[in-house]
Amino acid sequence: MEPLNQNLPIDDRIFVSLLEDSGFKAVMADKANKQLLIGLLNEVLPPHDRIADIVQYLDREQGLDTVNSKKTVLDLVCLTDDGRTIDIEIQRKKDAYFFQRCFYYAAGYYHRKLSKGDKYKLLKPVYVISFLAGELSFEKNDGKKPDKVITRYMMQEETSKIFAPTTIICIFAQLGRFSLKLEECKTRRDLLLYWFKYGDTYETLPQEIKDDPFMERVGEACRIAGFSEEKYETYLLDMKTGLDYEWGLDCARDEGLEEGLKRGREEGREEGRMEGREEGREEGREEGVKLKAFETARKMLADGLSIDLIAKYTG
């Protein structure tokens, strides 16, 4: 096994990163790789919830209840042969409210499953399965923090621990807790989580990956040289969009913080109160973020990106 090249530039990657939206969608949203997606989901789902087939890839843009409803665009959504909806999300950045966001996504799909006159017994479960580069912040800060990589949340009665009928299930693969070396991976799930975290740092497939036929197929599906011209262009566009978005957020934070500190100091001197400084910081941050978002949106529009993508990445 060759050593990991942790500093491999993005342009020199041999394999995409499954922990980036662009890489994950290039591999797992490709209908030709449906069996790989099924295999991935079944390694994360509990044994009694495993799926047999995916019958449809759904629109990633959730419909709006009203003209003022919040618009959401998801990473990958599919429908199973038994009617379950599964939304798969990739999260690299720290987000203190990521759990709320996932539950919001699931609730949207769950309540739109019925048409006028339908019976509630027709409702099918909705799953949100998320792969995080880090950890859930509220688990990390809680005194009962679980140490397992995969955590699952569902409806349960507080005292008796009786589970309510299956409605919304949120499952998180928290790669920030995954610490196994490749030679320590004993199961296919271990290998999958390892490849999610480190796959893009390799220049050739390691033998441990080749030894498992399914994992070898996953690895080869991540090989950029194997992409068609159309798929490669889509991957580059998605990657550029993601990088522009992260760059915009970083710049907005820096500019907002600088403006906020400046205004906070001025108001603090004038009023002599801590409240003035805090208000100035907050207003400055918000103003900087908003201005940067508009600037980024204009650039993305000029580059020909769709309105849906611009809305997703700029808010």
State how far the alpha carbon of 262 is from the alpha carbons of 108, 146, 285, in Å.
41, 41, 11
Q: Which SS3 state, helix, strand or coil, does residue 125 take?
A: coil
pLDDT digits (tens, 9 = 90+) for 21-42: 999 999 999 999 999 999 999 9
Beta strand 54-57 with 85-91 is: unpaired
Smallest Cα–Cα separation from 232: which of 63, 130, 91, 240?
A: 240
- Cα-to-chain-centroid distance, residue 127: 14
How much is the pLDDT for 286? Answer: 65
pLDDT, tens digit (0-9, with 9 covering 90-100), for 178-236: 999 999 999 999 999 999 999 999 999 999 999 999 999 999 999 999 999 999 999 99
Higher pLDDT, 12 or 273: 12
Model pLDDT, residue 241: 72
Spatial strand order of the sheet with 126-132 comes to 54-57, 76-80, 85-91, 126-132, 168-174, 150-153
Q: Which residues contact 6 (CB under 8 A, 6 or more apart)?
A: 201
Task: Tell me the percentage of the chain whose pLDDT exceeds 90.
Answer: 57
Question: Once rounded to an integer, what is the mean pLDDT over residues 235-249?
Answer: 67
Q: Across the chain, what does the average pLDDT equal?
A: 83
Q: What is the pLDDT of residues 270-297, one digit of tens each?
A: 665 555 556 556 665 666 666 677 777 6
294: which 2 tokens? 């508009």
At 79 the three-state DSSP class reads strand
Contact partners, residue 141, CB within 8 Å, separation at least 6: none
The pLDDT-based confidence of 115 (bands split at 50, 70, 90) is confident
83: nearest Cα among 117, 54, 119, 50:
54
pLDDT confidence tier of residue 2, bands split at 50, 70 and 90: very low
92 vs 68, more confident: 92
E strands present in 105-199: 126-132, 150-153, 168-174
And the tokens for 16? 């995409």
**Is the Cβ–Cβ distance between 1 and 182 less than 8 Å?**
yes
Q: Give the helix/strand (H/E) hosting 280.
A: helix 274-302
